[in-house]
Structure 1
Amino acid sequence: MKLKALSVSEINSYIKRILVNDPILYNLRIKGEISNLKVHSNGNIYLSLKDKNSKINCVVFKNNKLINIDLREGLNVVAAGYISLYERDGSYQFHINSIDIEGIGDLYIEFVKLKDKLEKEGLFDKRYKKEIPIMPKNIGVITSPTGAAIKDIINVISRRYPKVNIKIYPVLVQGNKSADNIVKAIDFFNKFNNVDVIILSRGGGSIEELYSFNEEIVARSIFKSKIPIISAVGHETDFTISDFVADFRAPTPSAAAEIVVPSYVDVKYKLESVKNRMDKSFKNIIDTNRFKIENIKNGIEFTFSNFIKKDKREKLNLIFEDINKSLVNKLKFKREQLNNLGKNLHNLSPLSVMSRGYALVEKDNKIVKTPEKLNVGDSIKILLKKADINCKIENIKLREVD
């Protein structure tokens, strides 16, 4: 006779009942180091307790009145509570009722010691901070090629200022070799000097996961860099040594992308505003000087009309012509400057590139930048300057590009 099959919800509910009714699991004291601490928008606190070999996920509910200490990464604590199951995900958690501080974790102690050492050496001093370029042409990004950080950076930069070139140096962002990877990436960009600014980035994580950015060799490599570096490591509440040494600290990878490039729309608006102000200014200058000249001319003719000699009259005409010529030349020069500004603005537009015979390829309303995103049979749209062409891929032939 076969046993009745249980639904996932039923088995999770059954396991939860076993856990909460176990006398040992329902009255536990666990000793460990706080890691991966996060305060949720609903007020609950999520963290992990870890030792050298393992970790356990924990939760402190917002209505808990027994915890009156300042929880932070690296604290060694003894937590009391019970084991329960989060039925939706089928994952067990340690529900903490109270916490006693035992000490500060080793990683946090190392972090504080290195921070104090480098600060005394002057590596955090503002006088060494380099200016972030206002309108960079090439941006270097040092991060994991598979994480969410690189996707966020590319999406934000492409939306704000599509003209810029993004050069990615893929690295490990945690683990034994990650610090060496990061140092090699910084040295690479400095050796070839092919970017205007560098974004050093990864997503959020525990103090262990972010520790590559707390290594001394990484800090000294950032300080030594001749190219300005923006540190965008973790979430807004995460701080690493690289944040203090870098020329600018961004709270998140997306924020770094917002900071590093201007908005194309804003640039266009500012240039148009400058043009309008210059037109108005030039008109005012011409009108003012013309009024002054007319007043001088009328005054001279009125006062000395019966006494001025022919040669004085001719000299006055020459002066008038010189002034008028000077104003015309100045106006011509300023108009040429305006035209150059307009041409530069036009060159920034993607339509300028398309007008030279280039085209963009879209799939599912997204720009396709690499052939790996395409498959035979896909429907795509080719965007020309004056037309959109819907196509279906029959064949894809890859070629090597140097």
Structure 2
Amino acid sequence: MRQILTVSEINRYLKNVISRDVLLSGLMVRGEISNYKNHYSGHMYFTLKDESSLIKCVMFKTYNCELKFIPENGMRVIIGGYVSVFERDGQYQLYVESMQPDGIGALHLAFEQLKQKLEKEGLFDQSFKKPLPLLPRAVGVVTSSTGAVIRDIINIMGRRYPNINIKIYPVAVQGEGAAKQISKAIDRINKLRCVDVLILARGGGSLEELWAFNEEVVARSIYRSNIPVVSAVGHETDYTIADFVADKRAPTPSAAAEIVAPEKAALKNDLNNLVYRLARSLNQNLVIQRNRLFRVTDSAAFKQPFDRIYQERMRLDIFQKSLIRALQMNFSEYKSRFAVLAGKLDALSPLTIMARGYSIIKDKENGKVIQSINDVYKGAELEINLRDGTVDCVVK
């Protein structure tokens, strides 16, 4: 009789078969990522595909937390892991233990991804860059306590301006935990406010050796810093994320020391030149002002201060006389014109005519002046205006 199996037994059997296969236990697979999902638990679920097939993949948080880059849909990668069966769903899938970009280094890809991310957020914006102090009283240096870097910085600053106080904050500049140490040092220095400018320094090295200065935690601390930060990591050709976020990039740690610490002899020389130029300018200005004073005191205004007043008073008297004379002439002219017009008006006045024996007759009913015999009728009441009064009468 044929054996009857349960679904669980079949899935378990297939899992055992696949697990014993040497080829599927430790393999490397090349493909393209699609349907990528980063679960809230930290696990990554995605599909790896080529031109004709695909396989489900899972990368648990235990492994993906070590990735230097962020997987994306469409990214070609090389994956290391093993194939097994998920018994509950009866689905075989690839359990990923390692992942690297296909054709480009993981660190280089992570560098470009973080650079693009921070640039979009504005961490590289020039408007946020703080100016360096002209003459700092204290300089903080975050670097390794051993090696040539710190000795070069101390020697150069001591030679250029020995009055500057150098405060060294030793940290690991590479390896596990270096980025966190650098970040904590920057934050700590900002809380203490004990320096005027801060230098992040490290000698040259490979991308892996400089990686601590490419970590996001360091970039965030530099951006938050209220103290100006100078990034001096590696050689002139080396660029890190810290260089883009910092307020100033120095090609080398030695160059950073020269940027931060002015040369004392040059400052003294500049100061002496400024003092000389100021004294010469003051003397020249004094001579100019003295000559102006002499010209003013020699002028007629100072020798005869009231002459201008007297001249103006005389002009005022002349203007007053001219004004009075003009007013009198206008008054005489208008007086004569008034007399002529008054005579004409008097000649035309009805009173003058009445004074010669004439009278004006009006109809008392309507006040109309009687000009013709036809304007009256029998019984009409009239008013006769004479030179010295009026007479009322009736027409018979």
Give the letter aligned to residue 211 of structure 2. Y
Aligned equivalent of 2:162: 162
- Tell which has more relative contact order, 1 or 2 (C-alpha 8 A, sep 6+): 1
Asked which structure has the greater CA Rg, the reply is 2
Distance 1:181 1:298, change over 3 A: same
Secondary structure of 2:124 counterpart: coil
Q: Is it true that 1:116 corresponds to 2:135 in the alignment?
A: no
The residue type paired with residue 135 of structure 2 is M
Q: Is the 8 A contact 1:139 1:196 kept in 2?
A: yes
CA pair 297-308 structure 1, distance change in 2 beyond 3 A: farther
| CA distance, structure 1, for counterparts of residue 226 and residue 305 of structure 2 | 71
Aligned to 2:271: 271
8 A Cα contact 2:157 2:258, kept in partner? yes
**Percent of aligned pairs with the same amino acid:** 54
State the one-letter code of the partner of 1:166.
Answer: I
Within 5 Å, which residues of 2 pair with 1:306-321?
Answer: none
Q: Distance in 2 between matches of 1:115 and 1:307?
A: 82
Task: Give the TM-score normalised by structure 2.
Answer: 0.51
Q: Tell me how large the CA RMSD over aligned residues is.
A: 2.1
Number of equivalenced pairs: 209
Q: Does 1:208 align with 2:202?
A: no
- What is the distance in 2 between the residues matched to 1:111 and 1:261? 31
Structure 2 matches for 1:211-360, cutoff 5 A?
211-300=211-300, 304=304
Q: CA deviation at 1:147?
A: 1.6
Please, which runs of 5 or more residues in structure 1 have no aligned partner?
1-75, 77-101, 310-402
Matched residues in 2 for 1:211 and 1:260: separation? 25
Structure 2 counterparts to residues 32-43 of structure 1, below 5 A:
none
CA distance in 2, matches of 1:306, 1:132: 62
Equivalent position of 2:171 in the other structure? 171
What residue is the counterpart of 1:181 in the other structure?
A: 181
SS of the aligned residue for 1:262 comes to: coil
Distance in 2 between residues matched to 1:104 and 1:181, nearest whole Å: 29
The residue number in structure 2 matching 1:81 is: none
Change (3 A) 1:305 1:111: closer
- What is the rounded CA distance, in whole Å, between the counterparts of 2:181 and 2:275 in structure 1? 47
Matched letter for residue 269 of structure 1? N
In 2, distance between residues paired with 1:303 and 1:131?
59
Query: How far off its partner does 1:305 sit?
Result: 9.2
Rate the CA distance shift 1:170–1:307 in 2: closer, same or farther, 3 A: same
Contact kept? 2:143, 2:202, Cα under 8 Å: yes
**CA deviations over 1:81-137 (Å, ceiling 9, x no partner):** xxxxxxxxxxxxxxxxxxxxx821111111111111111111111111111111100
CA positional deviation for 1:256: 0.3
TM-score (norm 1): 0.50
* Aligned partner of residue 298 in structure 2, secondary structure: helix
Aligned CA distance change for structure 1 residues 111 and 299 (closer, same or farther; 3 Å): same
SS of 1:142's equivalent in the other structure is strand
Partners of 2:219 and 2:303 in 1: how far apart?
79
Aligned to 1:146: 146
Q: Map Cα deviations across residues 55-104 of structure 1 (whole Å, 9 max, x no partner).
A: xxxxxxxxxxxxxxxxxxxxx9xxxxxxxxxxxxxxxxxxxxxxxxx821
Query: Is the CA contact 1:137–1:164 (under 8 Å) kept in the aligned structure 2?
Result: yes
Give yes or no for contact 1:147–1:202 (8 Å, CA) kept in 2: no
**Equivalent position amino acid for 2:293 in 1:** I
Query: What is the letter of the counterpart of residue 189 of structure 1?
Result: I
In structure 2, give the amino acid aligned to 1:111: F
Q: CA deviation at 1:282?
A: 1.2
Residue aligned with 1:259, SS: helix
**Residue 300 of structure 1, CA deviation:** 2.8
Q: Distance in 1 between matches of 2:190 and 2:154?
A: 22
Q: 2:296·2:302 contact (CA, 8 Å) conserved in 1? A: no
Partner amino acid, structure 1, of 2:280 = K
Query: What secondary structure does 2:145 align onto?
Result: coil
C-alpha contact (below 8 Å) 2:186/2:225 kept by paired residues:
yes
Counterpart code for 1:278: L
In the TM superposition, structure 1's runs of 4+ consecutive aligned residues that sit over 4 Å from their partners are 305-309
